[in-house]
Amino acid sequence: MPNEMERLLDVIRGRGAKTVGLQFPVGLRPRAVELAEDLERRAGVTCLIAADPSFGACDVPEMPVDLTVHLGHAPMPHLRYRNVFFYDLPTPLPESWTFLDAAIPLLPKRVGLLTTTQHREWVQPIIEHLRGKGIEAIASPPDRRVAYAAQVLGCDYFAATNIADRVDGFLYVGTGDFHPLGVAIILRDKPVVIADPSTGEARTLDEVRDRVVRQRWGAIVRAQDARTFGILVSKKVGQDRGALAADLKARLEAKGRAALIFHMDLVAPELLEGYGIDAWVSTACPRIAIEDYLRYAQPILTPQELEIVLGERTWEDYAFDEIRA
C-alpha cells in the first residue's frame, strides 16, 4: 500500500499529528499491528489501535488522538467526520473473470451492477467484460450516503432503486448475502445474482430471500401480543435515529402499548437480557434485526415491521429498512 501510506504521512506531517488512532473492520485486524508499527517508525507518532470493531463508515467513533485513520470503508458523503483520514484499500483487479462468467447463465440481458467500496475499481472493467458477453450492465451514480458508483450498503439501496426501471435484474459482485438481500426484498420481481470473487462461484439470492421473508413474518406475528417494546437507538454516528425512536414510542403508546428507549453502542443479545421486554425494535443497523434474528430471545423488528404490527402498514407493502440521510 505505498501510495496511500505516502498520502497519510503527508497529512500527519502537515497537521503535526503526534498521536494517531487506527480503526479497522474485523477482517483487517491481521494488518493492524504491521500498519501501526510502520506508522510509528516512519512518522514518529504514537498509535492507538481501536479494539472496538468498526462496522462501517456509520461507525467512526471519536478517539483521543490528533488524527483518526479509518480503514476498510468509504466515507458517507452526508456525514461530517472530524480529523478522520479514510485510508483507501481497494482490492486489485482479479487475475481472471471466471467468477463473473459463472454468473452469466443466471443473468438477464440488462442488469444493474452492485458492489462494495473495495471493488469500486472493478466497475468499469466488469461492465466491459459483460458487454463482450452480450449483457448490458449499468451502474448508478453515487448519492448522499454512498460515495461511489454501484456502491450498495446493507442499509442503503439507492444504487439499485435508482436504476430499477432500466434493468431486469441485478448482479452483486462481492461476498456474503447481506448487502444485496435488501435489494432482493425491495425489488422482488427482479432476480439478484451474486458473483463471489472469493469463492469463484455465482448463485441467485432467491432461497435466502425466501427464508428471510418467512423469518420476518414470524417476527411480526410473535410481536403482535407484546405488551412492552424496547426501542434500540445506536450511539454510532451514522446509525443514530433517536428522532425515529421517539416517534415509534409515541405511536406505540397511542395504541396502548408500553415502549421504552434503549441507548447503546454495540447491539448484542446478551446486552438485552434481563429487562423483561417482550419485543425489540431496532433503529440501529438493519443488519441486527435481519441477520442476527435467531440469536435474540425475543422478536426483534425493523421500524417498518413495527408498522405492520401496529396495523399502519400491510404485509403486501413490506419495506426493507434503510437509513436515509
Smallest distance from the beta carbon of 190 to its own copies, in angstroms? 37
Q: Tell me the residue length of the chain.
A: 325
- The smaller minimum CB distance to its own copies, of residues 161 and 228, is found at 228
Cβ 59 vs Cβ 69: under 8 Å: no
Smallest distance from the beta carbon of 246 to its own copies, in angstroms? 7
Is 2 buried (19+), middle (13-18) or exposed (0-12) by CB count in 10 A?
exposed
- The smaller minimum CB distance to its own copies, of residues 216 and 241, is found at 241
What is the distance between the alpha carbons of residues 157 and 168, in angstroms, rounded to a whole number?
A: 16
- The smaller minimum CB distance to its own copies, of residues 115 and 239, is found at 239
- Residue 265: C-alpha distances to residues 232, 239, 306 (Å): 10, 10, 22
Smallest distance from the beta carbon of 180 to its own copies, in angstroms? 26
Smallest distance from the beta carbon of 69 to its own copies, in angstroms? 13
Tell me which residues touch its own copies (CB under 8 A).
Answer: 21, 26, 29-30, 32-33, 36-37, 46-53, 63-64, 228, 230, 232-233, 242, 246, 249, 258, 260-267, 271-277
Smallest distance from the beta carbon of 73 to its own copies, in angstroms? 18
Nearest to 325 by CA among 261, 233, 239: 239
- Residue 126: C-alpha distances to residues 22, 57, 104, 195, 285 (Å): 32, 25, 12, 11, 30
- The smaller minimum CB distance to its own copies, of residues 260 and 297, is found at 260
- Residue 124: C-alpha distances to residues 5, 131, 143, 209, 262 (Å): 26, 11, 18, 28, 44
- The smaller minimum CB distance to its own copies, of residues 24 and 172, is found at 24
- The smaller minimum CB distance to its own copies, of residues 186 and 237, is found at 237
Smallest distance from the beta carbon of 141 to its own copies, in angstroms? 34
Mention every residue, 6+ apart, whose C-beta is less than 8 A from residue 99.
195, 196, 197, 199, 200, 201, 202
What is the distance between the alpha carbons of residues 171 and 108, in angstroms, rounded to a whole number?
A: 10
